[in-house]
Chain A
């Protein structure tokens, strides 16, 4: 093949050819195509992000796994102790308590969110006067900072705060919500729900808007009522969104940390010490890094299992 090689400037076709040669060499042969050089280009675009995630996600994850078999206090060198950390956790009633607090919080927040958020989306999807303003009012809280929310609600739950003032008008006595064992976790759950509804409402709303109008029109022509249309048209078509919301709400609920930290400090009596708080406390307050890593592994397995179940559900949902 005779061709001119440009001086000083490489022609695109040349780069393409040489890259394609390189690729064939790298991949051990294969079909040459016009754009095979793009294989490398694509990989290089992805590389920076990949390297970052290897350093700050995958490597730490492996480290967490390794560290969970060591005793380490940040000062003296780590000592291999086998399964000691897991045994310690298993025998630690506070860990058991923490695990169940997390489970309660997670489902306590997520399940109401699924329904309320769907309700909100259905509401906002209707034609009504001032819809834009109403949507704005509902979506505004999504932008709010967690710390602002935590501070406002700590004040709201004060014995003389707004929550008690409102309840008092209904004849319910003043409660010190955050310092009683029975009420602290429900109080935090209520904040979680309140916070999640607009966010998942937006996602549902987008899902609703993606449903072609023709389906509803066809159902109307076939004589379907409001409820029939909801259960036989809206719900099946919304299923991917519903699954997505389920996964996302569970995952975000299990990560809650700020509210228990600044509102209750995990108390009273550990009733709001969720797993991330337990991990933080074990690692950075008691300097038992190995045990904290072991607790992280438990949390990870828990999340992983949950995600697998969700994916399985999602797949089944997609087939039917």
Chain B
């Protein structure tokens, strides 16, 4: 075989791999959307019809009545936005402090914060619940939000990107008599917009998705979030796959929307973590 045909064969193989990979990655989602517009019987029809003869839009309103989904969606948005806000404020402040100031035990502070990455909720589940119970926050929005409001990962992300802002910029503002908070507000924030965007997106996605903590702390229906509502509905009516898939499609929309519109910031957020050290 000549070198040229080998190269061509290799190229073809890579194309096949690429396309095959895309199919493997996306097929479950196509199946989800397709099943959400079929009748409960059609979802198991063989051979598979990806687009049914008659599209069952009615699955969507029907599915939404299988639980207080308006409330669940609302709660998910509240939790996701509140946790996002908390992370934006606290992680950015801390990231600034760690990136641009020298103070005693700064490295210790940074390490302590990073070390909490080793204490995920799964490990401190029982005592965190007890703390929240002591604070009287079980089954409240506060209880849902507070333990998630600062994430060490966010601090790390902000520290990394604020470090890249030139010191001369800050010094110049300081010479002009700008207050420390003024520097933060007028120099630091505008200069780390990409990282802020990334942090906001990741925080929103993770907490829109939050399952374990609401599962423990939200005991009544009016505080349950969408993931809990969907799991609960599935537990009651596990055969209604067409409707479960309709709800899954609805639950996918916010994340998909964010991804499609802020794809670059999203990918940047993921890659900003730990590659610059």
A interface residues (Cβ-Cβ under 8 A, vs B): 11-12, 27, 38-46, 48-50, 52-53, 55-61, 63-64, 67, 120, 123, 126, 128, 134, 136-156, 158, 160, 162, 165, 194, 197-199, 202-203, 205-207, 210, 240-241, 244, 248, 251, 255, 257-258, 261-262, 275-276, 279-280, 283-284, 289, 292-293, 296, 299-300, 303-304, 307
- Closest Cβ of chain A to B225, distance in Å, is 9
Known: A52-B90, A155-B245, A258-B211. A45 touches B96 (CB 8 A): yes
Contact present for A39 and B102 (CB under 8 Å): yes
Kindly report which residue of chain A lies nearest to residue B201, judged by CB atoms: A143
- CB contact between B94 and one of A48, A151, A155 (< 8 Å): that residue: A48
Q: In the docked arrangement, what's the CA distance between A151 and B124, Å?
A: 27
The one of A138, A141, A156 in contact with B31, judged by C-beta atoms closer than 8 angstroms, is A156
Given contacts A152-B248, A303-B118, contact A60 B131 (CB under 8 A): yes
B1 located at the interface, meaning its Cβ lies under 8 Å from any Cβ of chain A in the complex: no
| Smallest beta-carbon distance B42→chain A, Å | 12
**Which B residues are in CB contact (< 8 Å) with A151?**
32, 230, 234, 244-245, 247-248
Q: Is the CB of B118 within 8 A of A257?
A: no
Question: Contacts A42-B102, A52-B149, A52-B150 hold; do A128 and B18 have CB atoms under 8 A apart?
Answer: yes
Chain B residue nearest to A262 (CB atoms) is B231
Q: A residues within 8 A CB of B48? A: 162, 165
Decide: B118 and A307 in contact? CB cutoff 8 A: yes
With beta carbons under 8 angstroms apart, the residue of B14, B127, B259, B270 that contacts A61 is: B127
Contact B94 A46 (CB under 8 A): yes
Give Cα distance in the complex from A107 to B136, angstroms. Answer: 39
Complex Cα spacing A302 to B164, Å:
35
Distance from B58 Cβ to chain A, minimum over Cβ atoms (Å)? 19
Inter-subunit contact A53/B113 (CB<8 Å): yes
Q: Are A64 and B21 in contact (CB under 8 A)?
A: no
Q: Could you tell me the distance in whole angstroms from the C-beta of B169 to the nearest C-beta in chain A?
A: 15
* Chain B residues in 8 Å Cβ range of A248: 274
Inter-subunit contact A42/B209 (CB<8 Å): no
Q: Which residue of B35, B174, B248 has the most chain A CB atoms within 10 A of its CB atom?
A: B248
* A126 touches which of B14, B21, B131, B216 (Cβ 8 Å): B14
Tell me the dominant secondary structure on chain B's binding face: helix
Kindly list chain B residues whose C-beta atoms are within 8 Å of the C-beta of A40: 103
Min CB gap B171→A, angstroms: 9
Tell whether, in the assembled complex, residue B252 and residue A140 are in contact, meaning their CB atoms are under 8 Å apart.
Answer: no
Beta-carbon contacts under 8 Å, B138-192 to A? 146-147, 149-150, 152, 155, 174, 177, 179-180, 184
B69 located at the interface, meaning its Cβ lies under 8 Å from any Cβ of chain A in the complex: no
Cross-interface CB contact of A155 among B15, B35, B119, B227, cutoff 8 Å? B35
B25 touching A194, Cβ below 8 Å: yes
User: How many A-B contacts at CB < 8 Å in the complex?
Assistant: 275
Shortest C-beta distance, B151 to chain A (Å), equals: 9
Known contacts A55-B131, A151-B230, A162-B48; is-contact A46 B93 (Cβ 8 Å): yes
Please, which residues of chain B bring their CB within 8 A of the CB of A276? 122, 125, 212
Q: Produce 1/0 per residue, B213-249, CB < 8 A to A.
A: 0011000000000110011001100000100110110
Contacts A/B (CB < 8 Å), 14 sampled: A27-B104, A38-B101, A46-B94, A46-B109, A50-B94, A137-B22, A144-B256, A145-B208, A145-B255, A148-B32, A150-B231, A151-B234, A279-B125, A296-B126
Identity of the chain B residue whose Cβ is nearest the Cβ of A160 in the assembled complex = B44
Known: A42-B98, A60-B119. 8 other contacts (CB 8 A): A46-B97, A56-B128, A60-B130, A126-B14, A148-B248, A152-B28, A162-B28, A244-B274
**How far, in angstroms, from A123 to B248 measured CA to CA in the complex?**
30
Q: Which residues of A contact B215 (CB under 8 A)?
A: 261
1/0 per position for B25-59, CB-CB distance to A under 8 A?
11111011001000000001010100000000000
Q: Which of B103, B113, B184 contacts A39 (CB 8 A)?
A: B103
> Is B62 part of the binding interface, using a Cβ–Cβ cutoff of 8 Å?
no
Asked if B194 is at the interface of the complex by the 8 Å CB criterion, the answer is no
* Residue ID in chain A nearest B276 by CB atoms: A210
Q: Are B31 and A162 in contact (CB under 8 A)?
A: yes
Rounded to whole angstroms, the CA-CA distance of A52 and B94 in the bound complex is 11
Contact B127 A138, beta carbon cutoff 8 Å: no
Contact residues in B for A300 (Cβ distance below 8 Å)? 118-119, 123
Distance from B262 Cβ to chain A, minimum over Cβ atoms (Å): 10
Of B131, B155, B270, the residue contacting A59 (CB under 8 A) is B131
Our pick among A12, A61, A202, A255 for the contact of B177 (Cβ within 8 Å) is: A12
